[in-house]
Amino acid sequence: RPILDMSYSRHFLDFQGSSIPSSMKKLVVTKLSPNFREAVTLRQDSPVPLPGDGDLLVRNRFVGINASDINYSAGRYDPSVKPPFDIGFEGIGDVVALGLSASADYTVGQAVAYLKAGSFAEYTVVPAKQAVPLPSVKPEFLTLMVSGATAYISLKELGELSEGKKVLVTAAAGGTGQFAVQLAKKAKCHVIGTCSSDEKGGFLKSIGCDRTINYKTENVESVLRKDYPEGVDVVYESVGGKMFDLALNSLATKGRLIIIGFITGYQNPTGLQPVKAELLPAKLLKKSASIRGFFLNHYLSEYKTALKHLLKMYESRDLVCEVDFGDMSPEDKFTGLESVFRAVDYMYMGKNTGKIVVELPHSVNSKL
């Protein structure tokens, strides 16, 4: 059958017994701009999509905020895509309808997470092959989908971590930084983390960070020069600009700098803050050092294995998955799609500790 079998009415009833609405709210990029509020529009009455034969219709309960949401709304990932287009990279929720083929592996009411564009919506169609079945709908699971997987795969494939290596993690208390710190510690490395407050420093110490540097009160360059005169072996870098220059200069002989982003440049029209790159060849040669870029989409062949491993670590309490719902933000917790705009602002102001997650409440009485 090309689409779900409508003769099985339970396939098109959500598991609380109320029918799926015909329209929903979702966020849509209507204009390319690095200013998220300018680029994105909240649509109130978009049609709820129908799942095809191999698809699930997921009612989103939690969606994740990523620094790269702005890159996507600015049209930097695929310049051929023209507005309007859906936005949001990851979600977690309940299967409320599914196609016939998909029903071989999934049932209505099942908890799933997914990595797919279009999660900033009340309902998202997800190919069953791309869904990740979960024991329950917990926001902690969502932290692993992009942030955890990015840290795990990049450090495994590019980090060459081993006991005693010195690892510098920039923006260490952020969504992905928290995992880089923990995974480097599990590899028996000495971990240094930069952050913007003493509260974040306390969180970093609680997850094993050996040395925290509050860049608002300490000079990062001076601390590294004084405490690590031989340099650091690996840098997990997501800030860009001056922090990139500083990290590059702090590399030890044969050191490796892994770029997973450059958040300081994302809100700029060009997307880049200048770095002092003209001396780069000399700097790398002098130290036999290397710089590697990492973009999760290029490592999707490793994704399922990485996620399985991370889920196992979390369930055995071997991994802290810190979630930030914006409880400390001026207008309170991030609830509902309209709060995605605030959540993106909150991230770019550097306020978050852990992964920023937005909860999507539903009028249906949930028993979960």
Question: Is 205 within the bounds of a domain?
Answer: yes
Question: Is 269 within the bounds of a domain?
Answer: yes
Q: H or E element: which one contains 237? A: strand 232-237
Cα distance between residue 82 and residue 165, in whole Å: 45
Q: Which domain holds residue 165?
A: 145-298
Cα distance between residue 215 and residue 337, in whole Å: 33
Kindly state whether residues 208 and 288 are assigned to the same domain.
Answer: yes
Question: Is 123 within the bounds of a domain?
Answer: yes
Kindly state whether residues 128 and 156 are assigned to the same domain.
Answer: no
CATH number at residue 74: 3.90.180.10
Kindly state whether residues 29 and 111 are assigned to the same domain.
Answer: yes
- The model's pTM: 0.93
Kindly state whether residues 151 and 277 are assigned to the same domain.
Answer: yes
Q: Which of 298, 333, 348 is the last residue of a domain?
A: 298
CATH number at residue 223: 3.40.50.720
The packing angle between helices 220-227 and 242-249, to 10°, is: 10
- The total of structural domains in the chain comes to 2
CB neighbourhood size of 28 (10 A): 19
Question: Is 28 within the bounds of a domain?
Answer: yes
Kindly state whether residues 269 and 197 are assigned to the same domain.
Answer: yes
| pLDDT, tens digit (0-9, with 9 covering 90-100), for 214-273 | 999 999 999 999 999 999 999 999 999 999 999 999 999 999 999 999 999 999 888 777
Question: Is 304 within the bounds of a domain?
Answer: no
Kindly state whether residues 170 and 111 are assigned to the same domain.
Answer: no
| pLDDT, tens digit (0-9, with 9 covering 90-100), for 112-169 | 999 999 999 999 999 999 999 999 999 999 999 999 999 999 999 999 999 999 999 9
Question: Is 168 within the bounds of a domain?
Answer: yes
Kindly state whether residues 330 and 287 are assigned to the same domain.
Answer: no
Residue entry with tokens 């991230």: 347
Question: Is 366 within the bounds of a domain?
Answer: no
Kindly state whether residues 131 and 263 are assigned to the same domain.
Answer: no
